[in-house]
Structures are given as C-alpha cells and as structure tokens.
Amino acid sequence: MNSGRTVFSQIMDHLPKHRLHALVEQFRGNYKVTRFSCLDQFYCMVFAQLTYRESLRDIEACLRAQPTKHYHLGIRHRLSRSTLADANEHRDWRIFAGLAQVLIHTAQALHAKDDLGFGVEEAVYAFDSTTIDLCLALFPWARFRKHKAAIKLHTLLDLRGSIPSCILITEGKVHDVNALDMLVLEPGAYYLVDRGYLDFARLNTITQNCAFFVTRTKRNTKYRILKSHPVAQTPHAAGVLTDHTIRLTGVDADETYPQPLRRIKYRDPETSKLYHFLTNSFDLDALTISQLYKARWRVELFFKWIKQHLRIKVFFGTSANAVKTQVWIEVTAYLLVVILRKRLALSIDLYRILQILSVHIFEKVDIGQLLTETEGQNPEAQSCNELTLFDL
C-alpha cells in the first residue's frame, strides 16, 4: 500500500531517475543551477501534462494553490513561471529526448509478447508524420509557408502497445520521405508507410537492411508481371483479387530498385474500396499483407489521440529548444502512463486513466487500488466521436 504517498509520486516511481541524472550530467543540465533543478523542471512539466494545464501562469497558479503538497510531489523549490520558462528555454532538450528513449525501451519490453491479431511475430512499425501549426510571428525559426509556421513530428509507431519508438522533430517544410533517411532500420521488421513515402531508392535501402515494407502503389508506377500466384477462394481470404510478382520498368528502375516486388490487389469487403499494395515480403500470405497495411491506420489514430488528450498544440515557450523540450516531456509522460497501465495489468483505456489521474494527482491513495476500483465501474457511454484508440 502507498496510502502515505501522493498519486503523482507513485507515477514517478516508474521513472528511472538514475538514467535522468546521468543524462543531466552528460548535457550539463544543472550547470550553475542552485535551486530549480532539471528534476524539478521535469516534475512541473509532467504535472502540467497530467492535469491539463494551459499556460505557465496556469501551472504556477495551480502549484502555488497547494504549497504544502510540493514536497510530496517531489518538487523541492518554489515555482515561478519565469523560472520554468528559463529552464525550458536554455536546458538542453536532448536530456528529455534521451529519457524518452529509455522509457521507450522499457515499454517495448513490456509489450514484446502482445498479439497483433494477424499472426506476425516480427516487429511491426507504422511510419508517418503530423503537422503542428504555429504562429510565424512567435516561432520564426519554424517557417513553413509565407505567412505560416509549423513543425512536423515524424513518428515510428511500434504497433505492439502503440509505442512511439522514434520521433523526429523537424521544420514543417521538410518533406515526409526525407525522414526515412533518419531511421535506424531493424532487420526482420515490417515498416508500414503510405504512398507518400513511395521512393524506390529509399525502399531499396529497407530491403538491403534485411527489413520489409508494405505500402501502396501510385497510378503511374510502371512494371511488368513476372509471375502470378494463386489466390485462395475462401471466406478467410475474401477481398484478395490478385497476387503478382513484378519488376519495375520505369526510368532508372534497374538502379533504384532492381529486385522483384510483390503487388497485391485487394478490395475491402466492408467499403468495396480497391487497394493496390506493394511489398518486398514473399513469405506472408496476401491477406496478411493487406491486414498489415490496414493496421497502419493506428499511427493516424495515435496523432489524433495525442492532439486531443495531450498538451501538444499549446506550447509554453517559443524557442526551438523550448518546443522540443515540451514535446519530449509530453512523450515521456505518455510513456509513463503506458508503462503504469501494463505493470498494473489494467484493461481500461489510457484516456480514462489520464482523466482519473488528473483529478486525484494530489491525493494520498494507492494508485493501483484507485485505478482498479474505477476499472470495475460502468462509466457512461462515451460519445461516438470520442477517440478510443488505446484499448491496448
């Protein structure tokens, strides 16, 4: 039982503080700092995330309203908004990016044996990006268009657990396909990308690294059929129309992608929409390839979910360092809740967990008991427009 400790401090039990201290030393985060440490900064930002604070003034007012609770939250010094703003502005964002990577590995290990639902044992990743609009007058370093600023979050989502295994933060004008060059490819893994990433030279890099990709073809893709594979006419394989081995015949095809490819024609039984999939995997059956690409949609739901439930569209600072610091701390807060949910073996979705934590953050109650008791209740039915992605 943890009845003598606040809910917030119990969440922080899942934080590897020794790794955070090592990162602070590596990037000199506490250099010439006497009062408001990187750990205090991190706690304040995670608190803001979990309680849906909207601004620095909001964070300051909320924490100052509970001055006797600071020690129990782990915050050792009095907060002012100018101090937090300076910390976000000047302390290296790579401290929190490194911490997020540590938690990513922890979360992936916890979800390593999760069943994807279509019989694939290898790692499966969905890669895509989302654009976050900014004000050009406040964020001139993130110029996107003539009168607009933006940043992009290029995210590699591990479908086991919906864990963002890699996040690249770039200016909005960076084309999506260029982000493929920054990925560290895992041999044997499957990478699901939409046709905006259809660059055969880059897809060939995936093949050369002994990994697999599944994407969609474009109408102007030129090829010739080398072999037709039989398609099982069974209810299980409903929707698969053709399965061909092809070779590209376009300009410079012999240089960009000289190996054979597999092209699958599939009609969705539910919507009757026709899809043409392209992959370098010849081991999985055609229906599984189609199901893999359909699972790519989870990364789109991930983007919608974080924009709806995390403070990722309202920034507390305007510099590049402050924006990246906030993004990485928000990712870290999300990962802490994912790890907490898995370790406590909870079945309720992440949205409900965040809602419960937000109103009980100062309370001294056992967090396992709090969430387990709530799990057994029957909440009112959510709106049909409510995103419920994380029934993980």
pLDDT tens-digit map of 269-279:
888 899 999 99
Residue 334 located in a structural domain: yes
Give yes or no: residues 322 and 367 share one domain.
Answer: yes
Q: Answer yes or no: is pLDDT of 367 > 70.
A: yes
Q: What is the pTM of this model?
A: 0.89
Q: How far apart are CA 128 and CA 130, in angstroms?
A: 7
Residue 357 located in a structural domain: yes
Cβ neighbours for 240, distance < 8 A, ≥ 6 positions apart: 231, 232, 264, 265, 266, 286, 287, 290
Residue 389 located in a structural domain: no
Residue 198 located in a structural domain: yes
- pLDDT recorded at residue 79: 83
Q: Are strands 124-134 and 190-192 parallel, antiparallel or unpaired?
A: parallel
Give yes or no: residues 274 and 322 share one domain.
Answer: no
Q: Are 185 and 211 spatial neighbours (Cβ–Cβ below 8 Å)?
A: yes
Segment 167-193 shows an average pLDDT of: 94
- Amino acid symbol at 190: Y
**Domain around 265:** 194-295
Cβ neighbours for 33, distance < 8 A, ≥ 6 positions apart: none
Residue 82 located in a structural domain: yes
Give yes or no: residues 276 and 335 share one domain.
Answer: no
Residue 237 located in a structural domain: yes
Q: Are 221 and 249 spatial neighbours (Cβ–Cβ below 8 Å)?
A: no
Q: Which two tokens stand for residue 146?
A: 């003539």
Residue labelled with tokens 């965040």: 354
- pLDDT recorded at residue 376: 60
User: 264 pairs with which residues across the strands?
Assistant: 243, 277
Residue 366 located in a structural domain: yes
Q: Which two tokens stand for residue 86?
A: 């300076």
Residue labelled with tokens 């100018």: 82
Q: How many CB atoms lie within 10 A of CB 247?
A: 15
Dihedral-angle region of residue 314 (phi above 0 means left; psi in -120 to 50 means alpha; beta otherwise) = beta
Domain count, the chain: 2
Give yes or no: residues 291 and 340 share one domain.
Answer: no
Give yes or no: residues 283 and 353 share one domain.
Answer: no
Segment 306-321 shows an average pLDDT of: 86
- pLDDT recorded at residue 251: 86
Q: How far apart are CA 89 and CA 21, in angstroms?
A: 19
- pLDDT recorded at residue 216: 95
Q: Which two tokens stand for residue 227?
A: 């072999």
Instruction: Express the helix, strand and coil content of the chain in percent, nearest 5 each.
Output: 45, 20, 40
Q: What is the pLDDT of residues 7-48, one digit of tens each?
A: 999 999 999 999 999 999 999 999 988 888 999 999 999 999
Segment 82-88 shows an average pLDDT of: 93
Residue 183 located in a structural domain: no
Q: How far apart are CA 188 and CA 277, in angstroms?
A: 19
Residue percentage of the chain with pLDDT more than 70: 94
389 pLDDT band (50/70/90 cuts)?
low
**HEC letters along 215-241:** EECCCCCCEEEEEECCCCCCHHHCCEE
Residue 77 carries which DSSP code? S
332 pLDDT band (50/70/90 cuts)?
very high
- pLDDT recorded at residue 392: 45
Q: How far apart are CA 191 and CA 125, in angstroms?
A: 5
Q: What is the pLDDT of residues 199-231, one digit of tens each?
A: 999 999 999 999 999 999 998 999 999 999 988
Q: What is the pLDDT of residues 227-249, one digit of tens each?
A: 999 887 776 667 899 999 999 99
